[in-house]
Structure 1
Amino acid sequence: MRSFSAPQGFCKMSSLLLPLLPYLLYLIAVVYFLSFSPYSLYDFPLDDAWIHRVYSRSFALGQGFAYNPGQQEAGSTSPLWAIVTAPAHWLEPFGTRSVVVAVKEIGILLGILLIRELVLLTCMLTRSWKSALVAGSLFALEPRFLFSTLSGMETILLLVLWLSATRAYVQRRWVLSALLMSLMPVTRPEALLLLPLWWGGMLLLPSSERPQLKALLSGVILALPMGLWSLFCRLTNGHWLPNTFYLKARGFQIGPDDLRIAWEVLSQHGYAILPLFWVGLIVYILWTFQHRRFSVQVGFLYLLFAPVLYGIGVLGSRTMTTYGYYWTRWFDPVSLLLTVAFSIGYGLFVHWGMALVKAYRCKRQRKRSTVLLGGLGWVALLALLAGAPIFVHSFSERRLHFATDARAIHLINVRTGQWINQHTPETARVGVNDAGAIRYFGRRWTLDLIGLNNADIAFGRKTARQLIEEDSIDWLAIFPSWFQGSSIWQGFVPRQVFQIPLAEYTICPCPGQTRMVIFERRAGAKEAMGSNR
């Protein structure tokens, strides 16, 4: 018999092929997702993904976290993602498409690892290979998971660390779990809220079983990665977190509207649009209350309580909307971890249903609980089949949006960067408001006029207009609508426009982002401005 769950050996399977089912479904879904359009394969659905590429390329070239050559900048909210994907940029001699495909392949591999962690963790919690197979197979088809995996963003890395840390904790591998959890805040800063849960989990153990020396060592490990990154930020921008955190965060508050938006985001896509999702989630919660095993309690702590805590941190510090992936991605870790819990709950349904079938086949006396739970399992299966058309529609919508969002970024941002690379001298200095693809493809010294990648602007030490003059900016590539009533382009003349209809800009209903204009400084304009000061 082949062991399916590794250390505990609770889950045994005679088949060599069945354990591969979740991974096969996942790879089929990935290929289907990417096959919609060339934009799905060769582009990213957010300009933020290209900002990651800027820092990742810099790291791959041995330049650290430099936005411009020789200019270290705390502009990345996910330094670990930049490091993990840096090897993709060694393929740049083969073209940018090779880099994009390599980044997506890294995401796909992380997706495989995430499914593996889910399957093994489910086996350890439920002691049922049937539940593990079902949980892994369901999650493999979640469109929100597929979108995140292929988006070029850091969510998939955070989830792998989260589930891996949970499984290590269940196995009482204290140092490994602390190491994995310590990497989460340098993947997403909101994960700082989760670090105290490492010690909170110790309260689930009898005092005699709590590791004293390893707990002390783990405490040092937990603080180290984020401590080093915070020190880098402090030395670079004068603050303890990246520029982007301060510019995109707000004063902590949670009101009724925030809770409503959170509910809408949670139930917007995938399994969560089905009533069965919430039933499966409730079943998992009730099941954890009935089992006092350490592993089950840890599962509740990390798969239910921790996502809620993380969600509170995001909801209270960010302005959330349901407009598009740019905003909902911040909440995706919560949505996807609740989907993990639902998948385990549904796996329990299937386990109970199969137990009832086995009882009938063996013609043995059937307990009332076996009949009741088994009946619920078969009802859950019918409910999933009934909801399949709705789920398929959601899957298709996510697949379509992935392609159209990537197309919009290509036509507006990527083409702008390519034009700058082809039509400006190598010494050109460019001011931008979308700081990813234009910097990546343009390969020119770039000033981020919003401040996400410029600490002076981010923290109000200087204005964008001041730096345009001080840094001798001779080109601008901006959304003019963002600077109405501003003198930002005074002394510049338009040279090129990239524009698409609003209906084709599916990233969000943002009319101001459908028209990018490239301006060149008018000859003599800088000298004239200097003489007027």
Structure 2
Amino acid sequence: MIVIVASCFYLYKEKTVAGDWGLALDDSWIHMVFSRNLATGHGFSFNPDEPVSGATSPLWVFLMSLVFVLGTSPIWGTKFIGAILFMGSCFFVYRITLDLTSDKYSSFFASVLVALSPYLTWGALSGMETALYTFLSTFGIWVHLKCFRAYGIRRYLPTLIFTLSGLARPECFLLVAFSWIDILIYDLRFRKGAIFTIRSILGYLLHPAIFLVMTAPYFLFNYRTTGSFFPSTFAAKVGSGGLFGALFSGNISAAITTLTVKPLYMLLVSIMVLFKSNPLLVVFFLLGLFVIVKRYASPTAEVLSLILPIATVLYPLGMGVFAHVLSLGQSHRYIHNLFPLFYLISTIGLFSVWRFQTGELVTSKREKRGTTYILGAGALLIVCLLFGKPLFVWIVGLIGPHTALTHLSPRDLEFYWGNLVDSGFGISLMLVVTALSF
């Protein structure tokens, strides 16, 4: 119901501002052209009967082609699909939170935060693939929590769903790897004697086998039409700025930069965006991470998974390695699947405040000593932000020729430094307040 009300308000404002209903970006119309050609028998193409891998989200193109097959309004059909997928994301945020907390109130609260997100509402009604990959990401995480300890075919369901999310947004292929990492961590801790048997090794290899079978048509089509395993949109936006481009060109300096400075930059900017979406949740986000990690350390916990902190922290780092770093797109659409995770983790922290205050969650001397380290890290980060601008300018001047940060003017440097300061002070505040709350 909240999604419907928020969507109606958005559509009202869209009509008021633009004078008519439509789609948000030119990319939305590009997807629609691909979908129309696919539905009318002209193949995966922009110009009819001229195959080209010019759509970053092939799964979204296939899904939208149903709108043309059914003969409904392309604009309203696309918006309807986006709204339904947005509702699905809210539902699975509710289920994930319920599985982790067994508390219906906190689960409802987390889903409401997601439903009220203006960025996600925009994405659902924009005609872009954001609602699809956000839905598949949250659905995949819920399935992962249910199945990562299972035996048999159920253990491979997360790989299947996360691979589909990657076909909706390439960065989501990172979630496939994160799922495997979480499974391996769990097995190393609880199944030490069984992970190096022939049967177990073959079981692990089945994960990448499923991934390759599902993505082979995608990569082969790209190679046939562009001479590269990646779509033309990847070359246009990333080029030699990502890890693959640096390695293929033999540029070791750019590769080192891609593995160090760029991921850190993307992490800070992503955190800044998430914090600005709801500043009141900043402190509770770290508390939520602490609760999840501490629960993992308890052998009596029912859900022993690190997929939430792994995905939230490593996802933007992975984007810095493989993708461009100048921005997160309109309405931060490249990280829309991180917003539900941010709200979910923050909700867990918020509803755990009382347990922190009573000392229930911080019991050992080691944990209390850790709060001192957290406080020190926050203070150190503040000092770096106050006096680190000359170092930032020097680093950008050094790496600029080899990355997507090329040709930045002094005004650009001020803009990006401002982004880093905003995100950095948010992180510092989170660390300091959290440590003091202990």
TM-score normalised per structure 1: 0.55
Q: Which runs of 4+ in 1 moved over 6 A?
A: 208-211, 255-258
The equivalent of 1:199 in structure 2 is: 180
TM-score normalised per structure 2: 0.66
Q: 1:339 to 1:134 in 2, by over 3 A?
A: closer
Return the match for 1:251 from 225, 228, 241. 241
The equivalent of 2:326 in structure 1 is: 320
Kindly indicate which of the two structures has a greater share of residues assigned to helix. Answer: 2
Does the aligned pair in 2 maintain the 1:272–1:339 contact within 8 Å?
no
Q: In the aligned structure 2, how far is the partner of 1:150 from the partner of 1:370?
A: 44
The equivalent of 1:515 in structure 2 is: none
Following TM superposition, by how much is the alpha carbon of 1:342 offset from its aligned partner in structure 2, in angstroms? 2.2
Return the match for 2:113 from 138, 152, 155. 138
Does the aligned pair in 1 maintain the 2:266–2:325 contact within 8 Å?
no
Q: In the aligned structure 2, how far is the partner of 1:295 from the partner of 1:155?
A: 32
Unaligned runs of 5+ in 1: 1-23, 357-366, 373-533
Aligned-residue sequence identity (percent) comes to 27
1:513-524 matches, cutoff 5 A: none
Return the match for 2:224 from 224, 235, 244. 235
The answer on 1:185 being equivalent to 2:166 is yes
1:369-380 matches, cutoff 5 A: 369=359
Return the match for 1:79 from 58, 64, 67. 58
Question: Of the two, which has the highest radius of gyration?
Answer: 1
Does the aligned pair in 1 maintain the 2:97–2:106 contact within 8 Å?
yes
The equivalent of 1:46 in structure 2 is: 25
Amino acid paired to 1:123: L
Return the match for 1:129 from 70, 83, 104. 104
Does the aligned pair in 1 maintain the 2:2–2:116 contact within 8 Å?
yes
Deviations 1:143-170 (A, max 9, x none): 1111111111112211211121111121
Q: In the aligned structure 1, how far is the partner of 2:223 from the partner of 2:27?
A: 23
Does the aligned pair in 1 maintain the 2:97–2:344 contact within 8 Å?
no
Deviations 1:189-233 (A, max 9, x none): 222333222322222132268784654444322222222200111
Amino acid paired to 1:37: E
Q: In the aligned structure 2, how far is the partner of 1:264 from the partner of 1:235?
A: 36
Does the aligned pair in 1 maintain the 2:90–2:115 contact within 8 Å?
yes
Deviations 1:232-257 (A, max 9, x none): 11112211010010110042345768
Count of aligned positions = 326
The equivalent of 1:37 in structure 2 is: 14
Please give the secondary structure, in 1, of the residue aligned with 2:310: helix
1:106-505 matches, cutoff 5 A: 106-172=81-147, 173-203=154-184, 204-205=186-187, 206-207=190-191, 212=200, 215-249=204-238, 250-252=240-242, 253=257, 263-264=268-269, 266-268=271-273, 272-292=276-296, 296-298=303-305, 300-301=306-307, 303-316=308-321, 317-321=323-327, 325=330, 328-349=332-353, 352=354, 368-369=358-359
Deviations 1:314-358 (A, max 9, x none): 234314247x617x3223334453233224433545xx59xx9xx
Please give the secondary structure, in 1, of the residue aligned with 2:166: coil
Kindly indicate which of the two structures has a greater share of residues assigned to strand. Answer: 1
Bigger shift: residues 226-235 or 103-112: 226-235
Does the aligned pair in 1 maintain the 2:11–2:21 contact within 8 Å?
no
Does the aligned pair in 1 maintain the 2:134–2:336 contact within 8 Å?
no
